[in-house]
Structure 1
């Protein structure tokens, strides 16, 4: 999505918080964060193949991780997993390790599922409820879950449209749509998800228990941004120098909240 923002095929995108923050931190200066879409964190499933030798997260150190692309959420979360597991530091020397695992770029979700079954990768990480149908069908096997300490999705806009009068109206329209969607979650919204995604009804109800749309889409949590920067830095995804809030966010549209 950030590539589509760069080539201007998109004016506004809803993307993973960690990807947007990491991109700007690495010099992607063609967009800024303008608000928050889903302020609950995203739960990621850690999946292997059915015949994989890996049966727990502990054995994944120095293994091969399938990712959609470099800098994507699937790669960033692998580093967060490595940080949580203590794989980023040598326990004897305390030195930082740059290679807790190897990465194979696979571009799409199906290729990632195929790769853990043909043995070309050891595991991949993808959103839990999107992956669950493939766990249920036993195409792939879930060996763990991980939830980062930041909101799942934020809005970003190309710098050329930041002052466009339509931008606040877009956020307001989406705000009304998500409010209606949640008001109808016991009936119409459940049917809608089942119809377009072919999820089991029980899974849809469980997903609704985890999701929470930001009550004000223009709000941007200062603490969430700081935690994201700190975690990405600790995990080695970004360097020591971090961007300012003004570099990351356009505060004539978005509003900083604590």
Structure 2
């Protein structure tokens, strides 16, 4: 997503908070965070192969993780898991995991079933159909302490079309409010038809999701928690960037 921003294939993106923060902190200066889309944190399921020897998180230290790409949420969350489990050390040569970057979800599921990788991490409800079918096995979950998705805009958009950006954020906010207002009927059916999920799972998902009431607002505290957690997990090197260096404040000032 950030690569598409760099190439100017897109002007505005909705992406995982941790990926956006990590990218800017590592020098991706072609975009800024401009708003919050989903305030609720994302729950990541931890999955292994259907016949894997792993039956709990406890045995995952020093194993191979299937990820989509380096720097992606599936990569970053592995370090957050290691931090929460106390597996990180101060020795930079002591790698907690090895990684296989496989580009897509299907390849990650195949990797754990062939024992090429030990586990992968992916959003809970997206993975649930494959848990239900028995294709892969769920052994745990992890929820980071920050909002799931934020908006990021190319710096050219911020410099030359900031009012258009604000109108776009306002329109998206109105659409999401309408979507949630209709969740008892039309929105549930829309998700079922679009993603081929069963009704029970869709209604469970609606209980967990919480869209921002102000899409142009970004919590400085949320960004600080993200930065500090990523530093602690070894994804970023200290001291990292302060929240004001991650966000374009002129967007919020237009509200």
Question: TM-score, normalised to structure 1's length?
Answer: 0.95
Query: Closer, same or farther in 2 for the Cα pair 1:182/1:98, shift >3 Å?
Result: farther
Which structure has greater helix proportion?
2
Query: Closer, same or farther in 2 for the Cα pair 1:98/1:227, shift >3 Å?
Result: farther
Provide the aligned length of Structure 1 versus Structure 2. 251
Cα deviation, residue 96, structure 1? 6.0
Show the 5 A alignment for 1:208-247. Answer: 208-247=206-245
Query: What secondary structure does 2:121 align onto?
Result: strand
Query: What secondary structure does 1:62 align onto?
Result: coil
Aligned to 1:14: 14
Cα deviation, residue 97, structure 1? 6.3
Q: Indicate if the aligned counterparts of 2:224 and 2:243 stay in contact, CA closer than 8 A.
A: no
Aligned to 1:56: 56
> Is 2:66 the partner of 1:69?
no
> Is 2:165 the partner of 1:167?
yes
Q: Indicate if the aligned counterparts of 1:39 and 1:214 stay in contact, CA closer than 8 A.
A: yes
Aligned to 2:25: 25
Aligned to 1:44: 44
Aligned to 2:179: 181
Distance 1:107 1:44 in 2: 18
Aligned to 2:106: 110
Structure 2 portions without partners, runs of 5+:
none
Distance 1:22 1:235 in 2: 12
Aligned to 1:197: 195
Structure 1 portions without partners, runs of 5+:
none
Question: TM-score, normalised to structure 2's length?
Answer: 0.96
Distance 1:117 1:82 in 2: 22
Distance 1:146 1:8 in 2: 33
Query: Closer, same or farther in 2 for the Cα pair 1:97/1:38, shift >3 Å?
Result: farther
Distance 2:228 2:38 in 1: 20
Q: Deviations over 1:54-103 (max 9, x none)?
A: 000000000000000000000000000000000002xxxx6566511100
Aligned to 2:124: 128
1:99 aligns with one of 95, 98, 107: 95
